Structure 1
Amino acid sequence: MIRAFLATVIVGLGIGGSAAPSLAQGEPEPYTIEVPQERLDEVISQVRNHEFLPDAGVEPWRFGIPQSWLAEMGEHWASDYDWRAAEARLNRFDNFLAEIDGKQLHFIHERGSGDNPTPLLILHGWPYSVYSFIDVIEPLAHPERFGGNVEDAFDVVVVSIPGVGFSEAPDAPESLRAVGARYHELMTEVLGYERYITHGGDQGALSAGWMAYDYPDAVMGHHTHMHFPRHASSPWLSGKIGAEPTEAEKAWIEAEAAAPFGQLAYILTHVARGETLAASLADNPVGQAAWIWDKWYYWTDKSGAAFEEIHTKDRLIDEVMYYILTDSFRTSLWPYLMLGVEENAVLPEGEVIANPAGVTAWPDPVFPLPPREYVERSRPSLIHYTTPARGGHFPMVEVPELYVEDLRTFRRSLAEHLSAPDGNE
């Protein structure tokens, strides 16, 4: 019953969704991230004065975040953590604000090395942000600094979802497809790129896919590490392939359906009661952090190393402070609200995304990626499909070197495809 409800709300009302709006854009303005000290002091004081709960006497992480672990994180947060170090890492790159449809959109724009770097639009999901890509921006833009070839360079654009971080929230929740219209305006009208690649995971995968569908002349290729939107007859968690399945598809759809309910319950909360959750955690930094860190723990690939070996305390706090200091928690949930109203995670009946596509099936412990033949049902021009041995839901943080090399490999495959006689370059 619950899984059927989830499948229904993720499909949305009406296959295909609403058309992308026409937007007015402005010139980008350089931006320096500098949170007022008063705001920093306020958050640290709240953490220091938070009353942490005792452990429940159950197996750690069986029913969510252990209270003793949270208290240990809080102690480090209140006494040893330095947000200014995170700010400095962000400000190493060129940050900008651009007004699109009356709202400021924050993005990092790192122009690549060489004569002809490939424009790459990176789209984040939840619960991560522009900051999550801080370790991969320079290697993607300047591969020669890291032992790579300058021919693999990208012009890297990492943009914040409206309502997350330093991107201004819309007046009301918007679908991830509609948000893609803002991103397209940023790339073409503000930054002047005629063609570009879209890339994303989680919510970013849905926007990246819809952009490839809505703007086929501009999006020369799209690469994702979640597979959305799917073909019309196979909504997420429906248990349906929409055709006679292969053995690999049968195994995958069973694995997807077998995901523990506890790992998917957050979606029900976000979709159906997102505003209630936001109200309950408003002005509560530790509560917001607990909700977010819970996902970072369960969604990280821990098959080769312990969680604490993959993510340092400081890095985990950086990730939540990006939300907390900008009062983003509530509006970061707004795209989920639209999943139950007008968003669509499936294409219109009979439609495919014809642009060259790439999918990387990282070993995500909660969201298994489909086999190649399933992806090809909606991406007939699939030119890149890889199955790395390591890396979960956050590969840009968990395995940054592998993440960078995978995107470079996709770029090479795309260049070869587009240069072929029938590649439509």
Structure 2
Amino acid sequence: MRLTVIGTGYVGLVSGVCFADLGNHVICVDKIADKIDRLNLGEVPIYEPGLKELIEKNVKEGRLSFTTDLESAVIQSEIIILAVGTPSLPSGEANLSYIMQAAQDIASAMDSYKIIVTKSTVPVGTNEKIQNIISQHTYHPFAIASVPEFLREGTAIKDTMNPDRIVIGSSNEDALDKLISLHSPLTPNILTTDLRSAEMIKYASNAFLATKISFINEIANICEKVGADVTRVAEGMGYDKRIGQSFLQAGIGYGGSCFPKDTQALIQIAGNVDYDFKLLNSVVEVNKDQRFNVIRKLQEALGSLSGRTIGIWGLAFKPNTDDVRDAPATEIIQNLIERGALVRAYDPIATSNFRKEVDSPSIHWSESALEAAAGCDAVCLLTEWDEFAQVDLTELAQCMNTAVMIDGRNLYNKEEIEQSSFIYYSIGRPSVTNIGDKITLLL
């Protein structure tokens, strides 16, 4: 099939590349000329494992190209995929200006029947608005479909090529048939539904996963008070098939471009129909507060943070991505600086992006984990990069002023810490300090 993908962010670029790898001819379009120029030079504007190699392969084999010429791309394709951004407005609602402009541009370029697919995350009813806009700007026939994405940054290619399910919303039988054919190489689990249900499935899925994260973090906070181990609790819960193991890792909360935006948008969608989504409001409140457990644990270990030097390990919102949108590190570092602390920060990939969001004379940007920890009164692990699990804890303790660690992702196990000299605080597990041969619990 011949496809055009409009938008070369995470969703658009990964989707376009993966569709090309399935044997389709794909044109990726973006208004940002510099981004297209970089892609045509073989540079990838986002960090995603395996993406660069897949782009090179499909460009070389003639199935993938990049352009700013939307009109030409639309004319050459039978399926047009909308994958532009829908960032949050101050109200929490999704900003639909980019997607509505793209719809108008598509309509103006159409020369024949097209299937227009929305892959961007949009509020319920948006595809009907897209349909109305296109109808106003073209006399050519077209079909509208909603095919929400469920990929995760860091595993986006795997998620695209091996999805749990594909959701296709449309009332047009021809569109449904062609889109089922397009996606059938990926999975037999294809659900067809109406447009509004497809739009709602995306929001409901992300809101439920965010709820699981906030729930296990609340359980972790209780575990700390009663002396239980949340990792064992979560394991015991996860064996129940009704619950499952995924998204039960206690920590400092979710971040990124999806969960925060989508939970707020769903709360706003509910509010627009006079429904108070009490549960989801609580999920958001819990998540906002959870990241400040790091500050509370630092104060418990060190007292006043004024004049203290704190190492920060991890700036991306999760490992294997350079995305720092709504990363817990942002608020944690800002809070530390407000309290008079000096910060030594390190991330294997995301430092450059983070510095665009947060920069201060109080921050030393380090080139390695050990450099970030050197001379520090404590180290806070905020992103569970594999690199941090490989650090020699004895060497780490020796380079620090005080061997205090706040493990915000429960990366280290009890045995590793007991063999070290660290005063160690984790999330929802008994924290330990080694005093000679004696292990003292810090609850």
Q: TM class by shorter-chain length?
A: under 0.3
- Using the size of structure 1 for normalisation, the TM-score is 0.27
Structure with bigger gyration radius? 2
User: More relative contact order in 1 or in 2 (CA 8 Å, sep 6+)?
Assistant: 1
Normalising by structure 2, what TM-score? 0.26
Between structures 1 and 2, the one with greater strand share: 2
